[in-house]
Amino acid sequence: KSSLLQYIDITFCSQTTYTGTFPIRDEYPDCIIRRQPKWMDGKFITPFHKDGEAHIYWCDGTFMFEREQQSCGYVSSLHYWSSDNKNHVGDKLQYTNFVPPLGWPDWSRFCYRPGVSLLRLENDSDSDERRVLVGQNLYGIHPPQDYPKYEHRDIVPVNTSRYFSRQNQLLGDEDAEEDQKFVMVSCMKVLPLTELMPPDHLVQKNRNFCKELKVCGQTLQQLDHRE
């Protein structure tokens, strides 16, 4: 029976969730579950550190970043900004190891879901490497709908980031004040995965987190009814 279902693609299916994939995993452990476009699979080499901080995304939305804090979890939602261009998408990330800052309630770790916008660039070489532009709001957690743009490929070299003001003006790297920087656009090289599906220990960590999320939601609902 485990060989009956080998592949399922629920990319952009708005009524599906990461939690909803667990029954499929349990029933069909060898099934490949896709929750994002193929061009989003891979090892994103970011320009955030000198040696390049890698962000790895598997096809089911599980991710792992090469850092200690806010380093693992899953893509909780994904959408395209326009039906005419499904290569420009926005997402929301659910970290499983987010530690709320001082003064935040503990339940905030379940609803802190920052997002970015991604734009696929056409591969202009014969290699398996891809390039993706990534836009991130520096004031707020929502992905920027108007970023990145195709023309940014000419002003944001691979392995670099550029900053834009609220007026959509490109800021200089050296003379821009921090409070002027509104959106960051980075160009990242993406290396192919060796396996489409993530390691079991990451899936189990996400499963445990989803169980905690459910319990937290039920508890908050009970408290709301009491009031």
Q: Taking all residues of the chain, what is their mean pLDDT, rounded to a whole number?
A: 91
Average confidence (pLDDT) over 64-81: 95
- Tens-digit pLDDT profile for residues 4-38: 889 999 999 989 999 999 999 999 999 999 999 99
Confidence of residue 72 (pLDDT cuts 50, 70, 90): very high
Average confidence (pLDDT) over 172-186: 84
Judged against a pLDDT cut of 70, whether residue 58 lies above it is answered with: yes
Q: How far is CA 107 from CA 11, 68, 114, 212, in A?
A: 28, 21, 16, 10
Confidence (pTM): 0.91
What is the rounded (10 degree) CA torsion for 6, 12, 15, 18? Answer: 60
